[in-house]
Amino acid sequence: MTRTGDSIEHPVTGERITFLETSEETGGEYATFELRVRPHGFVAAPHVHPYAEESFEVQSGTFTFVLDGRERTVGP
């Protein structure tokens, strides 16, 4: 089980997730985490969240998203 402050790192994609709030702590309502991706890193595979909302804040660098088949690069 993950706890606040735990981190998971994917050595191939360059993703590092640090849990800020877990679903256990919020009564199953939500989880909050920080995702960092090293330069030239990527998300492992296209995916959807049919029952969840996801938001991003790019604090430095750029990140390219594909949403509804359209590519968009965003920055801070």
Strands (DSSP E) found in the chain:
7-9, 15-21, 32-37, 63-67, 70-74
Sign of CA dihedral 43, 47, 52, 58: positive
pLDDT tens-digit readout, 3-18: 999 999 999 999 999 9
Q: Once rounded to an integer, what is the mean pLDDT over residues 62-66?
A: 88
pLDDT at 55: 85
Domain map (residue ranges) of the chain: 7-74
pLDDT tens-digit readout, 27-59: 999 999 999 999 888 887 888 889 888 888 888
Place of tokens 């996801």: 54
In sequence order, what are the residues at sequence separation of 6 or more whose Cβ sits closer than 8 angstroms to the Cβ of residue 33? 17, 18, 19, 20, 21
